[in-house]
Amino acid sequence: MLQPVTSGRRRAPAQSTSTRRPAALATGALAAAAGIALTAFFPSPEMSPTAAPTAGDGPAVAAPVTADAQAVIDFGKESPQATAATKAPKTTVLSTSVDEIAFAAPIKGAAIASSFGYRVNPMGGFGDELHTGTDYAGACGTAVQASRAGTVVESGWHAYGGGQRIVVDHGGGLETSYNHLSVLGVNVGAKVSKGQNLGAVGSTGNSTGCHLHFELLVDGEKVDPQSRL
């Protein structure tokens, strides 16, 4: 029968359990008496130097982002959020206020004596005629004001019945005319604001009494002024 081969090295006798335990107990007792807490730390294989700390360990630190040395970075690209903001249509803000754009009656508190439309000619004649404006009743000398801001393009005698007349161009094909005036208070080329005095009520031209014949023209065509007031 073959006998097991053993090395010539002798194994040191193992210490008995009874010999090691008192030493461990003695060490623990000394540490407790000294008030020292012994903690063993075993690093987890999942932890890495770039891992963000967990809650309670301080503010989170993002891991660094790197790119390949040969990568091409296009800074002209826009994110979806940036595209929505930068591509929004621009709104042009008008410097003229809504109040300046709107039209106003040329005489404060004046009653309408005759409206725009067909009527019997007060100067005589037969059949109806188109009254091309609004007649405002008012005593001669009553102030006449610009219905809207604009530029004076006519100031003088109107050869076709308007008497002394002023015409203001408001832009965009809009004009207003003020007829039968007793006084012309502005000259051609003057810039006037809404409500500014232009002249005074009169009875010049084809008129049967003191009143203002007020007209509104859109692209040269006379329309009902009340449609814009």
Residues with catalytic function = 211
DSSP code string of 5-35: P--SPPPPPPPPHHHHHHHHHHHHHHHHHHT
Residue 184: how many CB atoms within 10 A of its CB?
19
DSSP class of residue 98 equals H
Kindly report the number of other CB atoms within 10 A of residue 150's CB atom: 22
Q: In whole angstroms, what is the distance from residue 162 CA to residue 155 CA?
A: 11
Q: How far apart are CA 114 and CA 107, in angstroms?
A: 14
State how far the alpha carbon of 151 is from the alpha carbons of 21, 183, 222, in Å: 112, 18, 19
